[in-house]
Amino acid sequence: MEVASSESTITVLSTGKQFDLSLRRGVYPIYSVVDSQGAVVESMHRWLRSLRAQIGLTVSEHTVPLYGRILSYLCRWLEHAQLYPSLSIDEQLKILSRWDITKWLNHMKEHGASSHHTLHTREACLKTFLEWLTTKEAGQLRDAENSPYGRDGKLGYITATPNARSPKFVSPEIVVELLNSMYNECERCMFHAQYDMGLRLSDVIRMTVDDIPDDNAYNPALEFIPLCVKRSKGRGGQSPEKITLVSRAVLRRIKRYHGTPEYKLAPDWDIHDPKKPAFLTANRIVWSKRNASKQFNSAVRRSTLSKISTHWMRHGTAYSVLRSDMGKDYQDRMLIVQQMLGHRDLTTTEIYTQIPPSLLQALTKAGSAINRLGEAESIREKTYLGPLQHREMRGHHA
C-alpha cells in the first residue's frame, strides 16, 4: 500500500490504536502493508518507514516499493496457509521458522516465481526484515538466537545465490526490427540512444536536455562525443555521475526529436528548460521505468523476436564496441566498454569475453571490424519516424 496523504496518524483496525505515519516534512509517498481485512501490519510498516528514511544513504529509491510488494506476498501467504490461525500477522512474524520460510518459497515457486533470481531476491528481503526485527529500533521483536539463518547469521540461504547470467548477443539487425515495432519516434529515439550509449533504462529516462552535449563544441573529426549522466545505480544509494560516449548519428537523432512541436510544446516545461527530460512519452509526459519497460515488451511481442529485455540493449552495446574498429586493440575496446557501462571493476566487464574475439569478428557480415558510427547511422536511417508517420499514441500514461 502506498499512502500519498499528509495525515500523520491512522487507526490500526486490528487493535484500534493510533498509528504514526509521519516522516520528516515533505517526504512522501509512504509505503505500508495491510492484511486482507485492511489492517496495517505494524512491524512491516515500521520497517518500510525505516527504509524510506534511508533512501539516498544506504537504500535505493526502487528498493522500498519492491520490498513492500514482497512483504505483501508473505502476508497473503500467512493468511492463506493458516500456520498459526490464532495469531495475528505481526505475532506470526515473531516466531517464523526456517521451515516456514521454506514452505513460503515453495509456494512462490508454484505460483509463478519460477526464476531462481526472483526467489533469491524475495528470500533476501525477508532475511533482512527478520534481522531488523532483532534490533533496538524494532523493539527486539525477535530473538537473534532463534534466527532462521543461525544464531550467528551464517546459516546459508534456502535459495542458493544465483550464478551470474551470461550476457546476450544483440545484433544491429535485432535492434532495427525491435525499433521498427515501436509506434512512435519518441520510443525509437530513446531505445536507440540506450543501445548506442550502453545506459541502463533507468539512467536513460533520467537524462535531461542539459545532459545532451553540443556537438559543435567538439572537433568534427570525432565520431563519438563524451556524455555525462547521473547513474541510478550506485553504492550506498548514491547517484554518481558516469561518462559514456554517444555517436554523432544518435546525437543528431535526439536533436531532431527535440526540434519537433510535440516535444518543444510539452505543457509541463518551458521550451528551453534545461531540466526538461531528454525523452518524453507520446503523450508528452515523463517516462517511468515501468511504462518504458511495458512499451519495450509490447514492441517485442509485435516483432518476430523471442524474449528480450531492455537490459540486453547494454549487452548489445558491449558486443558492438568489441566488434568495432574503436581503439587500437581488443584490450582498448574492453576498457571502452568498462567506461561506457560504468563498471567499477574490469572483472565485471570480462563476462563479455565468453564470446572470443575471433568469433565476434566472424559474426560481422564482412568478417571484419565494424564502424560504430556507420552502424548507428544505418539504424537511424532504417528506423526513423517523421512526425506524420506516428501510428499510435495510446498506452503512454505513467
3-state secondary structure of 99: helix
Mean pLDDT along residues 270-292: 92
Cα separation values, 180 from 46, 54, 187, 300, Å: 47, 42, 10, 10
Please tell me the total count of domains within the chain.
2
Q: Identify the pLDDT of residue 348.
A: 61
146, 180, 208 - which closes a domain = 146
3-state secondary structure of 241: strand
Is 80 within the bounds of a domain? yes
Do residues 137 and 177 both lie within one domain?
no
**What is the Cα–Cα distance from 374 to 323, expressed in whole angstroms?**
13
pLDDT of 154-196, one tens digit each? 788 888 765 555 667 788 899 999 999 999 999 999 999 999 9
Do residues 141 and 208 both lie within one domain?
no
Q: Identify the pLDDT of residue 352.
A: 56
Q: Identify the pLDDT of residue 101.
A: 94
Do residues 183 and 127 both lie within one domain?
no
Do residues 76 and 193 both lie within one domain?
no
Mean pLDDT along residues 96-100: 92
Q: Which CATH number is 176's domain given?
A: 1.10.443.10
pLDDT of 248-275, one tens digit each? 999 999 999 999 999 999 999 998 899 9
User: Which is nearest to 173 in space by CA: 385, 38, 375, 389?
Assistant: 375
Do residues 136 and 183 both lie within one domain?
no
Q: Using a pLDDT cut of 90, give the percent of the chain over it.
A: 41
Q: Identify the pLDDT of residue 5.
A: 46
Do residues 268 and 306 both lie within one domain?
yes
Do residues 88 and 198 both lie within one domain?
no
User: Where does the pLDDT of residue 369 fall: very low under 50, low under 70, confident under 90, or very high at 90 and above?
Assistant: low
Is 160 within the bounds of a domain? no
**What is the Cα–Cα distance from 297 to 289, expressed in whole angstroms?**
12
Return the minimum-mean-pLDDT range out of 30-34, 233-237, 381-385.
233-237
Q: Identify the pLDDT of residue 137.
A: 93
Residue that wins the pLDDT comparison between 37 and 353 = 37
Residue that wins the pLDDT comparison between 216 and 164 = 216
Helices (H), 19-142: 42-53, 63-81, 89-95, 98-110, 116-132
**What is the Cα–Cα distance from 379 to 384, expressed in whole angstroms?**
8
Name the β-bridge partners of 286. 280
Do residues 199 and 285 both lie within one domain?
yes
Q: Identify the pLDDT of residue 62.
A: 81
Do residues 136 and 186 both lie within one domain?
no
Is 56 within the bounds of a domain? yes
pLDDT at residue 397 above 70? Answer: no
72 lies in which domain range?
2-146
95, 112, 146 - which closes a domain = 146
Do residues 177 and 309 both lie within one domain?
yes
130, 146, 162 - which closes a domain = 146
Mean pLDDT along residues 104-126: 88
Residue that wins the pLDDT comparison between 173 and 386 = 173
